[in-house]
Amino acid sequence: MRANRITTARTDDEPLRYAPAMVLAVSNAVKVDIGLIFTFFILLPLLAQGLIAYGAAQALQEKRDNDKYLEEHYIPGSEV
């Protein structure tokens, strides 16, 4: 058997011929594709969703503050 060939039939007493990281070795183009997929389909949507949620929370707090201010500074006879 050749030394640089990965065999699927292996007994437990045989040592590993390759490090586990070598099994995941891929070309540079595949690495770039995986990076782009992660960036544009996972990372950026999560960032956008987080910013939208932060903005919504800020808007709700601003409305509560405005409502509280109007209650404290109510002038009888005026309709707001």
List the chain domain ranges: 43-69
User: How many residues are present in the chain?
Assistant: 80
More confident residue, 79 or 41: 41
| 21-71 tens-digit pLDDT | 555 677 889 999 999 999 999 999 999 999 999 999 999 999 999 999 999
3 pLDDT higher than 60: no
d(CA 39, CA 26): 19
Phi, psi of 60 (to 5 degrees): -65, -40
Query: Do 30 and 24 contact (CB within 8 A), yes or no?
Result: no
